[in-house]
Amino acid sequence: MKPRDRLRIAMQKSGRLTEPALDLLTRCGLTFRQSRDKLFCFGEGEPVDLLLVRDDDIPGLIAQGVCDLGIVGRNVLSEFQLTGGREAEPLAELRPLGFGRCRLSIAVPQELDYREPRQLQGRRIATSYPGLLGEWLRAQGVDAGVVTLAGSVEIAPKLGTADAICDLVQSGGTLVANQLREADVLLQSEAVLAGPLALPADERGDLLELLLKRLDGVIQVRESRLLLLQTSRHSLEAVTRLLPGGPQPTLLPVAGQPDQLMLQALCAGEVSWRQLEEIKKAGAREMFVLPVEKMLA
Ligand code: PRP
Ligand code: ZN
């Protein structure tokens, strides 16, 4: 491979990961001029270009050195690690990216009373993930037939070509539409940044390091929430105990109400309705959860 001075990132051309991946890269300060065939996007802000491809091709492109990085589902990356060409360079999951969450699951016909993996003994399971399924079956000590299909896995039981399936589940809509139900989870997946185990020794290594730092900043801010609420001094302790982790909250006086305090806390993750309701029960009111746009400590 001749040395390159621009970094090249492979990502899904069109699909569930495309929009959030582009959004993430934009937040990292990368801008692109899209070429007419939309396969290659030239990076304008930084020397980082995009290659838009089928998600299943991404790990191979990195392993062959055609691309330096890829944004791809952990499911696709892990499957490649298990079944990709033996000569291929091993790849690393450099960062989980927090979007495109789904799981690789076993699903069975709704009427089947599934309780444990052993019931799959001697059955045929259709999947596009023979590597991951095979590994799981071995770990469970189950001997089942693996029917590898490129797509439309969910109709295999109805067609009689399989007794169960092993496929991605996100909302569960596809399973319901095909009278299947989720029986066991093999892998929790999300979009990840995939790359080589070692940084390239040329300028791309420095670029990659810079990009990882920006990415970490973007991810940290994206997952931070600012929680604002009012509480009486009397309830303060109970309220504080329920606050989702993070640095110490800031307390401010409320004009004209000496017994009341305004509390401001930075939370490390999502604040759910359930958590808010609990905090309210402990005595908080006037609660706001705000996204954090930029942070400079
Ligand atoms: C996946 C999977 C299911 C569907 C599940 O395919 O193969 O068909 O999504 O999602 P749901 O639980 O929300 O219904 P996807 O559309 O991601 O395309 P793929 O063939 O590239 O995996
Ligand atoms: Zn795909």
Going from the Cα of 240 to the center of ligand 1, the distance in angstroms, rounded, reads 41
Percent of the chain at pLDDT exceeding 70: 96
Average pLDDT over residues 1-20: 88
Nearest protein CA to atom 2 of ligand 1, as residue? 168
pLDDT in tens, 50-109: 999 999 999 999 999 999 999 999 999 999 999 986 666 789 999 999 999 999 999 999
Contact 111, 55 (CB under 8 A): no
Q: 169: Cβ below 6 Å to ligand 1?
A: yes
Nearest protein CA to atom 19 of ligand 1, as residue? 151
Going from the Cα of 277 to the center of ligand 1, the distance in angstroms, rounded, reads 34
Which of these, 106, 58, 51, 54, lies nearest to 84 by C-alpha position?
A: 58
Going from the Cα of 168 to the center of ligand 1, the distance in angstroms, rounded, reads 6
Q: What angle do CA 79, 85, 88 make, to 5 degrees?
A: 100
**pTM exceeding 0.95:** no
Would you state the pLDDT for residue 146? 98
Average pLDDT over residues 267-295: 91
- Provide CATH code, domain 225-291: 3.30.70.120
Sequence ranges of the domains in the chain: 3-100+190-221, 102-189, 225-291
- Range among 87-91, 198-202, 270-274 with highest mean pLDDT value: 270-274
Distance CA 127, CA 156 (A): 9
Positive or negative, the CA dihedral 12, 13, 18, 22 is positive
Q: If pLDDT is split at 50, 70 and 90, which confidence band does 262 have?
A: very high
Atom of ligand 1 at shortest range from CA of 153: 7
* Dihedrals phi, psi of 16, to nearest 5 degrees: -65, -25
3-100+190-221 CATH fold: D-Maltodextrin-Binding Protein; domain 2 (3.40.190)
Choose the CATH number for 102-189 among 3.40.190.10, 3.40.50.80, 2.60.40.10, 3.30.300.20.
3.40.190.10
Residues 6+ apart with CB under 8 A from 82: 131, 132, 134, 135
Q: Is the pLDDT reported for residue 36 higher than 70?
A: no
Q: Is the pLDDT reported for residue 252 higher than 80?
A: yes
The two three-digit tokens of residue 189, written as one number: 């997946």
Domains 3-100+190-221 and 102-189 in one fold: yes
